[in-house]
Amino acid sequence: MRWKLGGGVTAIAMLGAVTGSATDSGVAQRAAWRATYAAPATIPFPDENPYSRAKAVLGRKLFFDPILSADRDRACVTCHLPDLAWADGRRRAPTRADSDTDLRTPTLLNLAWQEGRLGWDGKFRDLESVAFVPISAPGNMGLPVEDAVARLSADAAYVAAFKEAYADPGVTKARIEAALATFQRLIVSGASPFDRWIAGDEAAIPVAAKRGFDLFNGRANCAACHGGWAFTDGSFHDIGTAVGADLGRGRFVTNSQVLRYAFKTPGLREVAGRGAYMHDGSIAALEAVIDLYDRGGIDRPSRSPEIRPLNLSADEKADLLAFLRTLNSEPGTGPALADLTEAAPRP
Ligand code: HEC
Ligand code: HEC
């Protein structure tokens, strides 16, 4: 169902949503919002790196294989664990020396839909260009590109897998990157109660969560940055969290005030199960995240104009939380990565 709202209608509808009343306009507004969260029908793959089963199979093998680390003791899966929403559940990612890095491991869910740059501060141009940063970083997997290529070239099973994927047995950096990216684009979040509700099942989520959805899209303004099915705009904002030295996107774009302390908006799928939160793991619990937004974060020139104190009541905070909890997928609905198909799998 599609709703077209003129400016006047929107204003009245907003009022209905804000007061939480089940007026006709409040119902229309909620329906309009719901239409913006429809699940995608297909996974997008870039023209330069289209889906093929052989590439995805190779990427999956590489993702889980410690052969890509200097000491053969780490793989991508060391920090991006399927059971922890493809993150690691830690406050900060661990270095090889078992100290902590400055950053929390982000989830890899739904990156196929991420059009802009990746990384908390946008240091990665695209998904393909990420792989050799963790592989070669001395504090992480610690394997130089030439060594990675040499090791895989000396392994008959890999040579066969590269031949299958690229019709040529040559192992190259670009082919490793393309295969890993193809596999990662299949990492799509499973169906959640929220998705069933969006699809029309009114009983799928509690009434409190529906009020939380209205707040999320209305007065609490969360959807300004976390709108749409993947719950991220893929952009960078200062929401008033960081107090450290990390300037985020502002490290690269030095002439922009609003990019100081700006970090990438994380998607919110599986969010209730995968704290700590924020780029630096500085917030342990989801309740405390909502409190941060309620306060409006640190008031400073770089803070996004979309962030301001919300003055939520205790009931409203509980409603927002109830809504966020509906974004966790139901058992058995995750991506079918064990049994990859010839055609690109559907989400
Ligand atoms: C030591 C833990 C660790 C390992 C091992 C690791 N990662 Fe990560 N990953 C991270 C951290 C931390 C970040 C955030 C880095 C940043 O923003 O600069 C990240 C970011 C990413 C991102 C960007 C996600 C986004 O939303 O922007 C991708 C993609 C990714 N990793 C894929 C991989 C792949 C592929 C491998 C294996 C080749 C790998 N990672 C190995 C911890 C790890
Ligand atoms: C101006 C854009 C913006 C708005 C508005 C916004 N967020 Fe965020 N959100 C972000 C960014 C950016 C981060 C990451 C900040 C960081 O890492 O320091 C974030 C982080 C989060 C996280 C932590 C997720 C994780 O994986 O670490 C949650 C939960 C969250 N937001 C929920 C909300 C809710 C609920 C609202 C409304 C009350 C909201 N956001 C409003 C941009 C926004």
Q: Is 132 in the pocket of ligand 1 (CB under 6 A)?
A: no
* Ligand closest to the CA atom of residue 185: 1
Residue 327 and residue 85: Cα distance in Å, rounded?
A: 12
* Identity of the residue numbered 264: K
Atom of ligand 2 nearest to the CA of 235: 12
Domains and CATH numbers, the chain: 1-35 (no CATH), 53-184 (1.10.760.10), 190-325 (1.10.760.10)
Question: In the prediction, which pLDDT does 22 show?
Answer: 59
Buried b (16+ CB within 10 A) or exposed e, 236-246: bbbbbbbeeeb
Q: Is 180 in the pocket of ligand 1 (CB under 6 A)?
A: yes
Which residue of 225, 241, 269 sits with most ligand 2 atoms within 8 Å of its CB, as the best mutation to test the pocket?
225
Burial of 298 (0-12, 13-18, 19+ CB in 10 A): middle
* Ligand closest to the CA atom of residue 263: 2
* Ligand closest to the CA atom of residue 223: 2
Q: Is 307 in the pocket of ligand 2 (CB under 6 A)?
A: yes
Q: Which residue's C-alpha comes closest to atom 35 of ligand 1?
A: 131
- How far apart are the CA of 181 and the centre of ligand 2, in A? 26
Q: Which residue's C-alpha comes closest to atom 12 of ligand 2?
A: 265
Residue 185 and residue 207: Cα distance in Å, rounded?
A: 34
Which residue of 55, 62, 64, 105 sits with most ligand 1 atoms within 8 Å of its CB, as the best mutation to test the pocket?
105
Which residue of 79, 91, 277 sits with most ligand 1 atoms within 8 Å of its CB, as the best mutation to test the pocket?
79
Question: In the prediction, which pLDDT does 110 show?
Answer: 97
Alpha carbon of residue 28 to chain centroid: 29
**pTM of the predicted model as reported, rounded to 2 decimal places:** 0.93
**Are the C-beta atoms of residues 107 and 88 closer than 8 Å to each other?**
no
Which residue of 239, 264, 283, 312 sits with most ligand 2 atoms within 8 Å of its CB, as the best mutation to test the pocket?
239
Question: In the prediction, which pLDDT does 23 show?
Answer: 77
User: How many Cα atoms occupy the beta-carbon half-sphere of 198 within 13 Å?
Assistant: 21
Which residues lie across from 124 on neighbouring strands?
Answer: 118
Structure tokens of 293? 């937004």
Question: In the prediction, which pLDDT does 156 show?
Answer: 98
Q: How do the pLDDT tens digits run along the chain, 347 residues long?
A: 222 233 333 333 344 444 445 578 889 999 999 999 999 999 999 999 999 999 999 999 999 999 999 999 999 999 999 999 999 999 999 998 889 999 999 999 999 999 899 999 999 999 999 999 999 999 999 999 999 999 999 999 999 999 999 999 999 999 999 999 999 999 999 999 999 999 999 999 999 999 999 999 999 999 999 999 999 999 999 999 977 789 999 999 989 888 999 999 999 999 998 889 999 999 999 999 999 999 999 999 999 999 999 999 999 999 999 999 999 999 889 888 988 888 888 88
Burial of 196 (0-12, 13-18, 19+ CB in 10 A): middle
Q: Is 323 in the pocket of ligand 2 (CB under 6 A)?
A: no
The answer to whether the peptide bond before residue 314 is cis (omega within 30 degrees of 0) is no
Residue 295 contacts by C-beta under 8 Å, 6 or more apart in sequence? 309
Atom of ligand 2 nearest to the CA of 237: 12
Atom of ligand 1 nearest to the CA of 95: 1
Atom of ligand 2 nearest to the CA of 263: 12
- Ramachandran category for residue 167: left, alpha or beta (phi over 0 → left; psi -120 to 50 → alpha): left
* Ligand closest to the CA atom of residue 102: 1
* Ligand closest to the CA atom of residue 103: 1
